[in-house]
Amino acid sequence: MGDEADLNRERLELVLEAAGLDLWENDLVSGQVTHKATKTFLELGFTEDEIVSGVQDIFGLFHPGDLDRVQQAVADHVAGITPQYRAEFRLRSKAGEWIWFANYGRIMDRSSATPGKRLIGVTFNIHDRKQKEDEIAQINHQLVEQNKLLQELNAALELLAAHDALTGLANRRALMQMGANECKRTERFDHPLSLMVVDIDLFKTVNDAWGHLAGDRMICAVAQACAARKRSGVDIVARFGGEEFVIVLPETDGVSALRVAESLRNEVAATSVPVNDEGTCLSVTVSIGVATMRKGSGLGFEELVNRADKALYRAKERGRNAVYCADVPQGSVSAVHMLVGSGEDRNGALLT
């Protein structure tokens, strides 16, 4: 029997050595280590004399951040919550480095009168695996951060692609896309869609007399006046090009659009814009063309813009600082109207 027991012990030691496992046994009742994890101490850089002398206690080598987790794993197994004791932790080497190990064990005398005197298990080195996991986690974190940055850059690029750099308004490309969608909504929900084309009068004289910086300031001032009339989430305000702007007014009929246009015309005319650092201020006026479409009109967005643009040029021909509307009643030809301005009927009357 003795020879057989020795043979089995040798076999076990060989299997444990081949698997990189270090056998240990603890008495949970007395708190004593009945079989020390010798191989683990050697891996940590301690000599056999230090191991034998018992100077080094493995429980004193645990990383402070891991000890509670190990103790909880033991407690869960003792309470029968888990079928085995499993834990991963760091141990301090003799050189002061933190090395990752793992434990796997089981109470072997649970049915005895004093269960817990024999908690047997193995310890094995998982430092390389943990380092790779940390590297992967770091790479994943970097990927997450890079993806986040990429999303932010893409959002910024989309914003730049859809907005005018000088005024911050929607640009022509975005206007045409959103405007086409509004035309579809008009056909679907049968509500009027009005559009205003706004152009700064005699703008070239501002650039010629005061320079392009002054011209840019004037453009921004008119852009702000246009944007101030925007219903959030409803209207579209865009810079169409140069000193020309387009305002799209969904669910707005021609009369209401003319009132908005006239209000804008008056505000711009009354605005004084600083055009240089010396405090010089200039005033300009705008001419506005208005067009309205309804369901069944057969108009596309580009045609609606063109009709408003033609009305704008009629305003220019009549001396500027005016509002004209090219109404397109269903089944009839376009008629051009002017909203009476300063010194005339202020009730929004339409004159043919």
Helix ranges restricted to H, 38-171: 38-43, 48-53, 64-78, 127-162
Instruction: Say which amino acid occupies 194.
Output: S
Q: Distance between CA atoms of 96 and 61, rounded to whole angstroms?
A: 10
> Would you place residue 228 in the very low, low, confident or very high pLDDT band (cuts 50, 70, 90)?
very high
Please tell me what DSSP assigns to residue 46. -
| Residue 350 clears pLDDT 90, i.e. is over it | no
- In the predicted model, what is the mean pLDDT of the chain? 85
Listed range (57-66, 167-176, 282-291, 324-333) with the worst mean pLDDT: 324-333
Q: Distance between CA atoms of 262 and 274, rounded to whole angstroms?
A: 24
Residue 87, φ and ψ in degrees, nearest 5: -160, 150
| Residue 157 clears pLDDT 90, i.e. is over it | no
Q: Distance between CA atoms of 26 and 42, rounded to whole angstroms?
A: 19
Please tell me what DSSP assigns to residue 322. -
Residue 160, φ and ψ in degrees, nearest 5: -65, -40
Q: Distance between CA atoms of 53 and 47, rounded to whole angstroms?
A: 10
Provide, rounded to the nearest whole percent, the portion of the chain with pLDDT above 90.
Answer: 58
178 Cβ partners below 8 Å, 6+ apart?
A: 170, 236, 248
Catalytic positions, written as ranges: 243
Report residue 326 CA to chain centroid gap: 43
Contact 343, 309 (CB under 8 A): no
Q: Rg (Cα) of the chain, in Å, rounded? A: 41
